[in-house]
């Protein structure tokens, strides 16, 4: 009797240990917030630089022009949104106020707004809207893309170090409150402008939802102004809980470190500094900090033309050039914010539109060719607690975002194998780590089995995996069997998705 109780206890203990081993992996160090994870999934969206510079040919206007300068001859924000949606872009971010300080919405914080110009005056007389931010938000909603705003912290219009003889004696000659030693509180003005934007409603009264607020780090004057990042963040959080706040190093998303549409092959989603700390260098931002203290993934702001604002004489990048950019950003776990500036008519130029469409066609033709289906045969070096249903390798090809292949907690390297069932001409891979539970993987290799039954590495330099990695092969291989090896991880690796890109045969390649 006593012996039996002991036995039973031992069996219960054994069962209990299996049950605990089957628990989902614990989060590893920093993990993304819900808003950060949703934001990361947007991957590609547009930046629209529009304002007085569009009409003066400047990049950093000196706040010398009066609002009459803003005079688009055929403004159509629907054209922007429709085109971007058709080109597969997930949202658009508009410069509500650039460094020159002129506001594109009907703000009550300054007279320096387009609403005070002759374009707006004429429109009001015919009952048309003059609030370009609100118009753009309405168009984004109409075409099903997300909307965000750029509000420049640096404001030349208020900066005493930037003389503005062109505005002297006009109603636009406003108090010079920018700078810690200037009279007045610029942070308070900024918070007021931010508040107007984050509480803005469409003409029909429905609130505008923002997916990102872009707070530029650029400044071209020596005026020292300490920004109240905490205060800015609180205003955004209170009114737009789903909006990611972008800044040089956060708080929600960081600069990629350059404005050229690329990042280093290794990219960590974490860093160890906040917006209030000394700024990282470009290369430090490109890389990030492995196991850093804050989840602050990067976004690459890049341009379809040379400048941020439209200049007629600048060439537009080809679809192929944009595709190359995409591979070096989205293909390396970094969101791509591509600037497509409206021209002086207030429309996206035909050549830019054509290049965006070609870019979309190339993305589709290159990436929308997954040959993996959820029913394919898989195997792996091991499975977490032997629980095939929850953590087996088939979980990496089921097309779901909430499932992944996993091993036991003490295993940091291992492999999964995929039988394609028939020979394919394979030329690329998309792999994703389950970043909802942190970034763990620091090295991976992908092997393809050749005709003789030997695995050969076709991707051998994989480092950080993170949210998404796209590896395209220089030379396609014929294979029916693929193996993904995790060669380095700081905690048990969680592979959420493995796609194999290819076609049935290599004929015509
Ligand atoms: C602009 O805002 C003011 C209030 O600040 C309002 O009185 C005015 O009607 C608005 N103008 C337009 C054209 O929406
Ligand atoms: C410009 O805007 C200010 C403040 O909104 C207003 O008081 C002023 O009358 C406007 N001026 C013109 C010329 O419309
Ligand atoms: C920053 O803003 C917050 C919230 O508005 C405020 O409580 C705080 O005093 C401000 N900090 C500074 C240094 O101005
Ligand atoms: C790619 O093109 C195919 C065939 O035209 C289409 O079915 C698919 O929806 C496209 N995919 C994307 C992401 O646009
Ligand atoms: C890996 O990197 C080395 C050195 O940079 C390079 O020569 C090699 O081609 C790379 N291999 C692959 C499969 O990309
Ligand atoms: C190879 O692919 C091409 C184009 O998809 C197709 O026309 C051809 O029939 C295929 N050949 C074989 C042997 O499957």
For 283-313, what is each residue's pLDDT tens digit? 999 999 999 999 999 999 999 999 999 999 9
pTM: 0.93
Distances (CA, A) of 27 to 119, 435, 438: 54, 9, 6
State the alpha helices, DSSP H only, in 276-349: 282-287, 319-327
CA dihedral 18, 23, 24, 27 (to 10 degrees): -120
Looking at all shown ligands, the one closest to residue 90's CA atom is 4
The reply to whether 34-367 and 377-503 are identical in fold is no
Looking at all shown ligands, the one closest to residue 459's CA atom is 5
Indicate which atom in ligand 5 lies nearest the CA of residue 459.
Answer: 13
CB of 507 closer than 6 A to ligand 6? yes
Looking at all shown ligands, the one closest to residue 132's CA atom is 1
CB of 108 closer than 6 A to ligand 1? yes
Nearest residue by C-alpha to atom 10 in ligand 1: 106
Indicate which atom in ligand 6 lies nearest the CA of residue 503.
Answer: 5
CA of 134 to the centre of ligand 6 (A): 52
CA of 228 to the centre of ligand 3 (A): 6
Q: Is 137 helix (H, G, I), strand (E, B) or coil?
A: helix
CB of 445 closer than 6 A to ligand 5? no
- Mean pLDDT, range 358-377, rounded to an integer: 97
- What are the domain boundaries of the chain? 34-367, 377-503
CATH superfamily label, 377-503: Galactose-binding domain-like (2.60.120.260)
Q: What residues line ligand 2, using a CB cutoff of 6 Å?
A: 111, 116, 171
pLDDT at 1: 40
Indicate which atom in ligand 4 lies nearest the CA of residue 360.
Answer: 14
CB of 230 closer than 6 A to ligand 3? yes
CA of 111 to the centre of ligand 2 (A): 5
CA of 454 to the centre of ligand 3 (A): 64
Which residues have CB under 8 Å from 411's CB, separation 6+? 381, 382, 492
Nearest residue by C-alpha to atom 11 in ligand 4: 364
Looking at all shown ligands, the one closest to residue 111's CA atom is 2
For 73-103, what is each residue's pLDDT tens digit? 999 999 999 999 999 999 999 999 999 999 9
On the 0-12 / 13-18 / 19+ scale of CB atoms within 10 A, 228 is: middle
Closest listed residue to residue 347, CA positions, set 14, 10, 48: 48
Structure-token match 């430090």, residue found: 284
pLDDT at 469: 98
Q: What is the DSSP string of 208-249?
A: PPEEEEE------S-------HHHHHHHHHHH-TT-EEEETB
For 190-228, what is each residue's pLDDT tens digit? 999 999 999 999 999 999 999 999 999 888 899 999 999
Q: Which fold has domain 34-367?
A: TIM Barrel (3.20.20)
Q: Which of 17-26, 326-335, 360-369 has the weakest average pLDDT?
A: 17-26
CB of 130 closer than 6 A to ligand 1? yes
């Amino acid at each position: 009797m006593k012996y039996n109780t002991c036995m039973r206890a031992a069996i219960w203990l054994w069962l209990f240990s299996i049950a605990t081993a089957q628990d989902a992996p614990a989060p590893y160090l920093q993990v993304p917030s819900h808003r950060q994870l949703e934001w990361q999934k947007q991957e590609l969206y547009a930046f629209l630089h529009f304002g007085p510079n569009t009409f003066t040919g400047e990049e950093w206007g000196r706040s010398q022009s009066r609002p009459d300068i803003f005079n688009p001859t055929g403004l159509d924000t629907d054209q922007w949104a429709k085109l971007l949606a058709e080109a597969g872009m997930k949202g658009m971010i508009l410069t509500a106020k650039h460094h020159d300080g002129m506001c594109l919405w009907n703000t009550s914080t300054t007279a320096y707004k387009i609403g005070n110009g002759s374009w707006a005056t004429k429109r009001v007389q015919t009952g048309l809207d003059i609030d370009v931010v609100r118009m753009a938000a309405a168009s984004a909603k109409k075409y099903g893309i997300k909307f965000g705003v750029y509000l420049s912290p640096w404001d030349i219009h208020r900066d005493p170090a930037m003389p503005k003889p062109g505005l002297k004696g006009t109603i636009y000659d406003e108090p010079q409150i920018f700078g810690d030693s200037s009279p007045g509180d610029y942070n308070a003005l900024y918070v007021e402008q931010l508040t107007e934007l984050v509480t803005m409603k469409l003409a029909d009264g429905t609130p505008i939802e923002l997916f990102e607020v872009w707070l530029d780090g650029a400044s071209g004057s020596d005026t020292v102004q300490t920004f109240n990042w905490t205060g800015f963040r609180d205003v955004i959080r209170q009114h737009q809980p789903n909006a990611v706040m972008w800044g040089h190093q956060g708080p929600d998303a960081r600069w990629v470190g350059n404005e050229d549409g690329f990042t280093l092959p290794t990219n960590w989603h974490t860093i160890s500094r906040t917006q209030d700390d000394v700024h990282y260098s470009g290369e430090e931002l490109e890389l990030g900090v492995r196991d850093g203290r804050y989840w602050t993934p990067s976004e690459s702001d890049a341009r379809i033309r040379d400048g941020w604002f439209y200049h007629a004489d600048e060439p537009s990048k080809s679809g192929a050039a944009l595709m190359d950019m995409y591979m070096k950003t989205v293909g390396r776990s970094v969101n791509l914010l591509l600037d497509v500036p409206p021209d002086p008519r207030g429309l996206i130029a035909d050549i830019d539109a054509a290049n965006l469409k070609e870019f979309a066609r190339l993305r589709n033709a290159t990436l929308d060719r997954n040959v993996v289906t959820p029913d394919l045969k898989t195997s792996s070096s091991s499975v977490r607690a032997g629980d095939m249903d929850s953590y087996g390798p088939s979980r990496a090809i089921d097309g779901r975002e909430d499932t992944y292949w996993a091993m036991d907690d003490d295993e940091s390297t291992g492999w999964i194998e995929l039988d394609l069932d028939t020979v394919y001409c394979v030329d690329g891979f998309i792999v994703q780590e389950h970043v909802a539970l942190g970034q763990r993987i620091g090295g991976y290799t992908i092997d393809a089995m050749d005709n003789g039954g030997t695995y050969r590495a076709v991707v051998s330099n994989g480092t950080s995996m993170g949210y998404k990695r796209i590896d395209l092969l220089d030379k396609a291989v014929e294979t029916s069997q693929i193996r993904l090896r995790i060669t380095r991880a700081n905690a048990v690796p969680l592979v959420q998705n493995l796609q194999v890109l290819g076609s049935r045969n290599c004929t015509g390649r």
